[in-house]
Amino acid sequence: MAKVAFLGLGIMGYPMAGHLAKAGHDVTVFNRTAIKANAWVAEHGCRLAATPADAAKDNEFVVSCVGNDEDLRSVCTGSDGAFSAMTKEAVFIDHTTVSAKVTRELYVTANKLGFSFIDAPISGGQAGAVNGALSVMCGGDADVYKRIEPIIDAYALVCRRIGDSGAGQMTKMCNQIAIAGLVQGLSEALHFAEKAGLDGRAIVEVISQGAAGSWQMKNRYETMIDGEFEHGFAVDLMRKDLGICLDTANEIGAALPVTALVDQFYKDVQNMGGNRWDTSSLIERLRALA
């Protein structure tokens, strides 16, 4: 078993770190909010670190799952950042959804310091993290990727190396682009059914078995119909991710007209007070317009 540090015990990180401990790894955790870190240690044992540097010291693998570009820079290269204490030949595995730009910056810095960096954003939501069934998309050196597979296996249903540094983040952008369009389409279908006086549940039972079927339809249609939006990835986080997608699209010359439109629809949801609603709340925007 390996010595692993885990930085960030949020909705996703808390259960992911737990899976590492249950798999028998020697886990050290760090979290900016002490109450969460204390709760995790009370549940799983292992060691609690006071800083990212303290967590990284003497560990073979350092795993992060934080909020955004600046959060990642902070735990890596900020005051008491993990990079200052990582040992030669160690590997930093980042599960945060961030820009490919910051990922590549940190990859170069890590290599100069004598250790490795893999970008490994995740998909599957809180349920995927709790159930150890996440999809993990990786970018970085092929030989390093082979070393991290046994670590990520503790909480992944599928894990693939897509390409060089930044490829994992670019793949996560593809994931978010696809989800944005799917959720808007499902929202419009269910809203149309409501206005037409049809039974949305009966409709989904039929169309989900055909070409319209998707994970979003299977897992979110009932809560969408019932107006319950506390079951997944928050609108604020989705807008952060779509902003990364749209900025990157401008850099590489990709056209994302639907994504840009849905991003503005999520802005409308925020203006309705739905910042922490899950992404399926696009249907509530349509109800408000009707």
pLDDT tens profile 58-69: 999 999 999 999
Write down the CATH superfamily of domain 170-289: N-(1-d-carboxylethyl)-l-norvaline Dehydrogenase; domain 2 (1.10.1040.10)
Confidence at 290, pLDDT banded by 50, 70, 90 = confident
Q: Give CA–CA dist 260/275, Å, rounded.
A: 18
Q: What is the CATH number of domain 3-164?
A: 3.40.50.720
Catalytic residue selected from 3, 22, 146, 172: 172
Task: Write the single-letter amino acid at 174.
Answer: C
Confidence at 231, pLDDT banded by 50, 70, 90 = confident
Token pair belonging to 86: 């990582």
Confidence at 232, pLDDT banded by 50, 70, 90 = confident
Q: What is the pLDDT of residue 101?
A: 96
Which residues are CB-neighbours of 117 under 8 A, at least 6 positions away? 91, 92, 94, 103, 106, 107, 109, 110, 111, 140, 165
Q: Give CA–CA dist 110/84, Å, rounded.
A: 10
Domain segments of the chain as ranges: 3-164, 170-289
In sign, the C-alpha dihedral spanning 98, 231, 30, 159 is negative
Residue 19 parent element (H or E): helix 13-22
172 among known catalytic residues: yes
